[in-house]
Structure 1
Amino acid sequence: MTLIIEDGTGKLDAESYASAEDLAMYAVKFGVTIPADVPAQEALLRRAALAMDGMTWKGRKSNSEQALSWPRRGVELDYEIKPDNYLPARIPYGQMALAAEIHTDDIDPIERRKGAITRERVEGAVDREYATIPNTSGRLLPAAPDRPSVTQFADYLQRRGLFAVRA
């Protein structure tokens, strides 16, 4: 089933900001691993779009009936209010980065990953110990610097970087 791509008009049935072809080109450019077949690529893009809908973006939807979070109205960037049909280039790129990250998590689950080496002893045989990666919440760990989707979305999210909450 072909993806319905958001083009900045606020489509009621849009499923993605990027096509499977865009994702394949992104994977080649940035050297990331994605599935080879188009239906699996489209499924990854749909999953990434759903994850993006859970993010708190600047502004509000241009049309309350639109399927995806973008385009948005009232988005201020660099002291300039962007047009209501504004769809930043970083949104599709961020979706593709997020899709690649989701695929990485699918093929290499977090619970099987190893942390930094905390001890290594070499005498006759190598003895190596890894740090435990805590994941008590059952959710993915916060995106690390090797997760480029976070940097793509940073300017468009409601809160960026560190912030303090007064109790």
Structure 2
Amino acid sequence: MIDTDPGSPDFNSYASVAVLESFAARRGRQITGDTEVMLIRAMDYLEGLEWDGRRTDPEQPLAWPRSDAWFDDYPIPAGKIPRQVISAQCMLALEAMNGELLGSVREAAVKSERVEGAVTTTYAVADGETFTPQYPAVFAVLGSLAAGRGYAINAFAERG
């Protein structure tokens, strides 16, 4: 069961089923599948992101609400879940109709073909492999609220 009350110990979704259905309808999308499962899959994905600010309460079940978070140089009031986060969950829930959002990541072997003296072609994905899905529209909506996944390396280059 979807619980959108941040004060509840069972809080498990930023968007309700009604919000998802309205979001889909406004975009001309037909929902197929279990909306609650789609929302939970979307939450699983969102919970893996690195967010701006810090949790308002260290015991809260989800990443939002947060304190010290900013969007477009404006502070997000503590205790508020931004509209962008709710929209991102709905976008991901619609993507979840097509399957898992967090499938296992397998690095594809590089395949290279060369015709002597003519052309060399290299494929990033080998036969039978698939691409790891990316959701750039979700990160465009979230903007500076989410830093993404994994790690970052800062590097500086100077001419000698």
TM-score by length of structure 2 reads: 0.68
Aligned to 2:35: 41
Question: What residue number does 1:134 align with?
Answer: 125
Number of aligned residue pairs: 131
Deviations 1:66-118 (A, max 9, x none): 11111100112333332211211111111000111121346xxxxxxxxxxxx
Alignment partner, residue 54 of structure 1: 48
* Alignment partner, residue 12 of structure 2: 15
The reply to whether residue 156 of structure 1 matches residue 145 of structure 2 is: yes
Displacement of 1:19 in angstroms is 1.2
2:22 aligned partner:
25
Could you say what secondary structure the match of 1:51 adopts? Answer: helix
Q: Is the 8 A contact 1:10 1:70 kept in 2?
A: no
Alpha-carbon distance in structure 1 between the residues aligned to 2:132 and 2:9:
30
Mapped to 2, the partners of 1:51 and 1:79 lie a distance apart of 25
Matched residue, 2:3: 4
Q: Would you say the 8 A contact 1:27–1:34 is kept in 2? A: yes
Provide the C-alpha distance between the structure 1 equivalents of 2:9 and 2:72, rounded to a whole number of angstroms: 29
Inter-CA distance 77–143: structure 2 relative to 1 (3 Å threshold): closer
Q: Over the residues paired in the alignment, what is the CA RMSD in angstroms? A: 3.0
Find the aligned partners of 2:58 and 2:23 in 1 and give their Cα distance.
31
Gaps of 5+ in 1: 107-131
Residues 152 and 79 (structure 1 numbering): CA distance in 2 closer, same or farther, change over 3 Å? closer
SS at match of 2:14: coil
Q: Which amino acid aligns with 2:141?
A: Q
CA displacement at 1:32 relative to structure 2: 2.6
Flag structure 2 segments of 5+ consecutive residues without an equivalent.
101-122
Q: What is the rounded CA distance, in whole Å, between the counterparts of 2:153 and 2:77 in structure 1?
A: 31
Cα separation, 2, equivalents of 1:79 and 1:91: 17
Structure 2 distance, partners of 1:66, 1:92, is 17
For the pair 1:99 / 2:93, whether they are aligned, the reply is yes
Give the AA of the match of 1:52.
L
Q: Which residue of 1 aligns with 2:70?
A: 76
